[in-house]
Structure 1
Amino acid sequence: MISDQLVDLSRLQFAATAMYHFLFVPLTLGMVWLLVIMESVYVMTGNVIWKDMTRFWGKLFGINFALGVTTGITLEFQFGTNWAYYSHYVGDIFGAPLAIEGLMAFFLESTMIGLFFFGWDRLSKTQHLMVTILMAVGTNLSALWILIANGWMQNPVGAEFSYETMRMEMVDFWAVLFNPDAQAKFVHTVSAGYVTGAMFVLSVSSWYLLKGRDTEFAKRSFRVAAAFGLASVCSVIVLGDESGYTVGEAQQTKMAALEAMWETEPAPAGLKLVAGINEAEAKNDWEIEIPWVMGLIGTRSIDQQIPGIREIKEKNCERIESGIHAVVALEALRRNKDDAQAKAVFEQHKADLGFGLLLRKYTADVRQATPEMIRKAVDSTVPRVTPMFWSFRIMVGLGFAMLVLFGLAFWSTLKMQCAARPWLLKWAVWMLPAPWIACELGWFVAEYGRQPWTIYGVLPTHMSVSTLSVNSLYGSLAGFVGFYTLLLIVEVYLMVKFARQGPGSLGTGRYEREPAYA
């Protein structure tokens, strides 16, 4: 059996590289559409300041994009190096969207980005705008295919297990493509990226206004960011509600953990604002909740119950016991694919195969599983409640704080007073890290809440890893963390350097901190 240390280190390494990578992704997703807006205004008005805005913010976008690509390449290789059995088991389904994403990233997206930076003097205004639009489309399509793959891990539709190949096989590509969980995750994630891009431009522009530098440039950037950010943060909140509904449909365990819902409550369930979670006794010592809200989000009804953790565990226990029959029948079919009796038993219990495989963590022969092993497997089907509960609430709290900020910033632009409210500008500067924190917490909730599965309900995490030595994992983990930290330092250094220089770094002679325009 695979050791727990090997599984934990493999998970930690992938989590570290993924979380580092996702520091760069949201800003790329958001800033590219801000560039489209700015350049569109330039093409329509001919006002050169909008061209300068596109070029300046595009320079910061380019730095972030380059480092995002560098950190992202490693992730796809890890499926082969660290998660070999996972790649073998579900590669036919998971590999398809990743392959399409690779084509998007390296052909459409990268080509358009090259033309964006080197085509200013070679393309007409309209042609260059089309390049910028295609760059934005390519960037978001790249994210789409990644999130289709991840959405399938959360809700594995359009695929079935074949006892003949001992792998999951795709039976309906369109079901995978239009997976409700994947679509909700895509729109929610890219909207969060739009908020990140808007907050970055808003914060840097506010800093210029506080310093009294390049005020006309900063005011225009502030207005675009405020309007785009307000629309985006409203989308995040609305689409977050839809994402909550898909979680309630496909992953009731995650929903119960998010809400610290130990017992099934009468419909419609209330939304807990805060609670004193007591995991040892599987209860909340105290809680403050808003009636009905959770039921409406999770079920879109007032009469449908959301199951609590205790009820979910009881159902999972039944599925694990059923899964034992599926695993035993599958082993018989591996020996003899023509065994009719084993085939009949497997067909009857195959929906619970993944739950039976959970016992492989505790025994090589699931027929020898003791009640204690079954109890441990049942307990493992629910992630720890405390980190899920509070991570979700911090994420939501930051979202509403950004909603208020963007709302006030947009209102100040309508009143033409954005530069006259230092308290608002200082708030915008201090809120710069907020969208990154919210995005990282969002991914933590999504991925940690899926445990103990790599493919929800299908393939347990402890079965997915490669057979590696613990020492090699320690070494590669240290190497990745060190290298990625260096890249992050480089990113911050370059972004701060060029942000401090401001539009004067373009060398046009129209802004501060550069020689007079000749």
Structure 2
Amino acid sequence: MTLAALDLVTLSRLQFGLTAMYHFLFVPLTLGLAVLLAIMETVYVMTGREIWRRMTKFWGALFGINFAMGVATGVTMEFQFGTNWAYYSHYVGDVFGAPLAIEGLMAFFLEATFIGLFFFGWERLSRIGHLVVTWLLALATNLSALWILIANGWMQNPVGATFNPDTMRMEVSDFSALIFNPVAQAKFVHTVSAGYVTGSIFVLAISAFYLLRGRHRDLAVRSATVAASFGLAAALSVVVLGDESGYTTGENQKMKLAAIEAMWKTEPAPASFTLFGLPDAEARETRYEVKVPWMLGLIATRSISKEVPGIEDLVKDVELRIRFGLMAYEALEKIKADRTDPIARAKLEATSGELGYALLLKKIRPDVLNATDEQITQAAWSTVPPVSPLFWSFRIMVGLGFFFIALFATAFFLASVNRIESSRGFLWIALLALPTPWIAAELGWYVAEVGRQPWVIEGVLPTFLAVSSVSAGNVLLTLVGFVVFYSALAVVDLVLMVKTIRMGPDGLLGPALAPTGAPPLRPAPIAA
């Protein structure tokens, strides 16, 4: 592997990583706000009170800005599979393309249709009809996320697909296994719940801003109450469903789990969870560990009687899989020479699951069948992702998760006793907490994606083999272009969001009108 090729891989990864993480600034807020809009409009239809209609329309305007930016940044990611990751698209396009195509239909037809009806159907649809549209918009948003996460889940746990030596590609063998992949399902519910938390904190923080400024009291108190209730349920769900993600990781991505734990040696049963420590990759040890007994065993194995393998033992296992992979690679070379060779086909069928591990050697030498023991060991150690960044990213993410529970629980209590408006200290905390769900979400994706390196498809295709045959200079040029363009989009989004929030519902929708003969609005306990 030449230096230029390494630069190409690094730049391609950097470009896709930056665009993906930027795109995901908008996705969780879209997921959360969509459901919150449906809840608010449901209350409007049930009570007939105009304030709930104004709330739905106001938060809907912010939802619309965010949705537009999400679509604009999401389209470029799909094109990158063809521009920067051509071999990846060729090798697994039959598998990856199906859920991606369905997601495209969901996003650009179903979601787009319902969002149009949401904004332009207020005066054209009945109350019930518009409410149905809003709930369908929330459903479509979640279904769009489902298919993306099915595609991503397959990259983490490639089930329902087999390698075809005649086409030299991965092909779908069981579409139902692809859809009901346990990793994909766990990622979906965890990611969607995190989106609900993001939407709830966004509404809570903006409501806190209004209450601190003494503006839009009726809307702010009601919005904060809805956000507190829904957000508390969502935050609790994130923790519970995150536990399920931990279990699927322990079952299917043991190296990722070991790296997250900075666990160099196998942890005997009952395995302990490292609450704190200082990982040292060079010494292959974690210093000053503070452990919680039994917790890792319960998370990763659902038991206290099973050990959890460490990095060193997992590397030895990878060495063995590389050797079996070399057998598959040798059989594949014989099939290329003679398509009818039955012995080679039988040998490949028996060992094809390990073929990807032999491909790791291509980063070291092109003639992998002549690899030495030292090179096999070197390839095996390349499957260890960066330990310290994963260790700390995971713990910051989990710490924020428990902070969200405390925040929403406090907000729920204050709203229940009608004291949220007078608790200015809490309102400041809620306002300052605004960026925290995005920090947690981005760290979560960092752990998920960097944790499976060096694989673009776990155990099947190494990342360095998946890139397109383009120059590093071209990728660098487009990377700079994306940074400039996305920075401009970020400024536009921020300006639009801030302008809409500063205008508030009165500036956006016009001043609220009290019923004829009613006294002027004055501070009073808020009723539904």
TM-score, scaled relative to structure 2: 0.96
Which residue matches 1:313?
A: 315
Shift of 1:135: 0.5
Partners of 1:507 and 1:466 lie apart in 2 by 50
- Whether the 8 Å contact between 1:391 and 1:441 is mirrored in structure 2 is yes
User: Aligned to 1:363, what secondary structure does the other structure show?
Assistant: coil
Shift of 1:261: 0.8
Which residue matches 2:408?
A: 406
User: Aligned to 2:421, what secondary structure does the other structure show?
Assistant: helix
Which residue matches 2:28?
A: 26
Which residue matches 2:133?
A: 131
Moved more, 58-67 or 494-503: 494-503
Which residue matches 2:525?
A: none
Which residue matches 2:488?
A: 486
Partners of 1:30 and 1:505 lie apart in 2 by 24
Tell me the alpha carbon deviations over residues 225-251 of structure 1, each in whole angstroms, 9 at most, x when there is no partner: 000100000000000000100000110
- Whether the 8 Å contact between 2:157 and 2:252 is mirrored in structure 1 is yes
> Pairwise mapping of residues 28-427 of structure 1 onto structure 2 (< 5 A)?
28-427=30-429
Moved more, 343-352 or 130-139: 343-352
User: Aligned to 2:468, what secondary structure does the other structure show?
Assistant: coil
Which residue matches 2:526?
A: none
The residue identity in structure 1 corresponding to 2:286 is: N
Tell me the alpha carbon deviations over residues 35-94 of structure 1, each in whole angstroms, 9 at most, x when there is no partner: 000000101111000000000000000000000000000011111111111111111110
- Whether the 8 Å contact between 1:27 and 1:196 is mirrored in structure 2 is yes
**For the aligned residues, what is the CA RMSD?**
1.2
Shift of 1:373: 2.0
The residue identity in structure 1 corresponding to 2:82 is: G
* Pairs aligned (count): 513
User: Aligned to 2:291, what secondary structure does the other structure show?
Assistant: strand
User: Aligned to 1:420, what secondary structure does the other structure show?
Assistant: coil
Partners of 2:108 and 2:280 lie apart in 1 by 49
The residue identity in structure 1 corresponding to 2:376 is: I
Shift of 1:375: 2.1
The residue identity in structure 2 corresponding to 1:439 is: A
- Whether the 8 Å contact between 1:254 and 1:449 is mirrored in structure 2 is yes
Shift of 1:188: 0.2
Mark the runs of 5 or more structure 1 residues left unpaired by the alignment: none
- Whether the 8 Å contact between 1:144 and 1:186 is mirrored in structure 2 is yes
Partners of 1:86 and 1:374 lie apart in 2 by 24
Tell me the alpha carbon deviations over residues 464-485 of structure 1, each in whole angstroms, 9 at most, x when there is no partner: 1100101101100000111111
The residue identity in structure 2 corresponding to 1:88 is: H
Shift of 1:362: 1.2
- Whether the 8 Å contact between 2:114 and 2:133 is mirrored in structure 1 is yes
Shift of 1:511: 8.2
Partners of 2:145 and 2:346 lie apart in 1 by 41
The residue identity in structure 2 corresponding to 1:322 is: F
Shift of 1:95: 0.3
- Whether the 8 Å contact between 2:454 and 2:463 is mirrored in structure 1 is yes
Mark the runs of 5 or more structure 2 residues left unpaired by the alignment: 515-519, 521-528
User: Aligned to 1:220, what secondary structure does the other structure show?
Assistant: helix
Shift of 1:374: 1.5
- Whether the 8 Å contact between 1:43 and 1:126 is mirrored in structure 2 is yes
Partners of 2:509 and 2:259 lie apart in 1 by 54
Partners of 1:436 and 1:489 lie apart in 2 by 17
User: Aligned to 1:85, what secondary structure does the other structure show?
Assistant: helix
Shift of 1:348: 2.8
Shift of 1:505: 2.4
Tell me the alpha carbon deviations over residues 5-44 of structure 1, each in whole angstroms, 9 at most, x when there is no partner: 1111110000010000000100000000000000001011
Partners of 2:353 and 2:28 lie apart in 1 by 37
Partners of 2:257 and 2:511 lie apart in 1 by 56
- Whether the 8 Å contact between 1:85 and 1:465 is mirrored in structure 2 is yes
- Whether the 8 Å contact between 1:214 and 1:511 is mirrored in structure 2 is no
> Pairwise mapping of residues 420-439 of structure 1 onto structure 2 (< 5 A)?
420-439=422-441
Tell me the alpha carbon deviations over residues 302-348 of structure 1, each in whole angstroms, 9 at most, x when there is no partner: 10111010110000011111111111211111121112232232223
Partners of 1:207 and 1:306 lie apart in 2 by 47
Partners of 1:51 and 1:506 lie apart in 2 by 13
Partners of 2:450 and 2:199 lie apart in 1 by 26
